[in-house]
Amino acid sequence: MKIQHFTATQPEAVPEAPGVSIRWVITDKDGAPSFAMRVFDVQPGAASPYHQHPWEHEVFILEGKGAVRSETGDTPVEAGYAVLVKPGEMHQFVNTGEGLLRFICLIPHPQP
Amino acid sequence: MKIQHFTATQPEAVPEAPGVSIRWVITDKDGAPSFAMRVFDVQPGAASPYHQHPWEHEVFILEGKGAVRSETGDTPVEAGYAVLVKPGEMHQFVNTGEGLLRFICLIPHPQP
């Protein structure tokens, strides 16, 4: 069992996304068998990359105001929104507010 | 893509745990390939069952005060705590506060 406040994990910069940091809160190194939990902080005016990949995201917005950008447009989100990004879907998380946008994002471990 | 506030999902009672409800926020029916996101509400004085199972939990506390019970004792948690329960570990989430204890809990889909 691992029990730890998420701020005990140091944030790392995301090189391709200025103003975005990631905390790897639960990983395979902790003994998680199949998926990892990260916490993202997106500064005002910043955004995650607009991209796609062959694995899913399961996201829960903790604080702030943002938009989820996809091929069908922007959807506003705030605390309490859950987002499933399916494999292969273009997506981006944009901070549209004046404060921090913070969300949890879970991904499966890389397949061997 | 699925984007929805978690309260758009109806809570269901957990028969073996009076005072506990579950919302299945992201599931295989939504097209999630490998794991599901649920939100639990635990009323004051209530608790999830003290049990174990062969799959993991990845939990993030959203609000309230609680304790995670395990074979090594109780660990206090509150908003911002992340918890990895590994397969086979005994565990229970106890509301030790005066308000609601609410947390996200992710599990892998059942193996065929």
- Interface probe for B, chosen from A2, A9, A23, A34 (most Cβ of B below 10 Å), is A34
Average pLDDT, chain B: 97
Q: Which residue has the higher pLDDT, B100 or B112?
A: B100
The ipTM assigned to this model is 0.96
Share of chain A above pLDDT 90, in %: 98
Look at residues B34, B62, B96 and name the one whose alpha carbon lies nearest to residue A80. Answer: B62
Q: CA-CA distance, A69 to B17, in Å (whole number)? A: 39
- pLDDT of A62 reads 98
Per CB-CB distance under 8 Å, the chain B contacts of A75 are 3
pTM to 2 decimal places: 0.97
CB contact under 8 A, B68 and A3: yes
The token pair at B80 is: 């911002």
pLDDT recorded at residue B111: 78
For residue B85, the model assigns a pLDDT of: 98
Q: How confident is the model at residue A4 (pLDDT cuts 50, 70, 90)?
A: very high
Q: Is A34 helix (H, G, I), strand (E, B) or coil?
A: coil
Q: Kindly determine whether residue A83 and residue B3, on different chains, have CB atoms separated by under 8 Å.
A: yes
- Distance (Å, whole) CA A91 – CA A72: 10
Measured CA to CA, the distance from residue B6 to residue A94 in angstroms comes to: 20
Question: A-chain residues within 8 Å CB-CB of B104?
Answer: 60, 104
Smallest CA–CA distance, residue B57 to chain A, in Å, is 9
3-class secondary structure per residue, A16-31: CCCCEEEEEEECHHHC
Burial annotation A43-81 (CB, 10 A radius, 16+ → b, else e): eeebbbeeebeebbbbbbbbebbbbbbbeeeeeebebbb
Q: How far apart are CA A42 and CA A99, in angstroms?
A: 9
pLDDT score, position B63: 98
The reported pLDDT for the residue numbered A111 is 77
Beta bridge partners of B88: none
Q: Model confidence over A58-90: pLDDT tens digits?
A: 999 999 999 999 999 999 999 999 999 999 999
C-alpha span between A37 and A27 (Å, rounded):
7
Q: In whole angstroms, what is the distance from residue B25 CA to residue A29 CA?
A: 27
The residue of chain B with its CA nearest to that of A70 is B1
pLDDT score of B112 more than 80: no
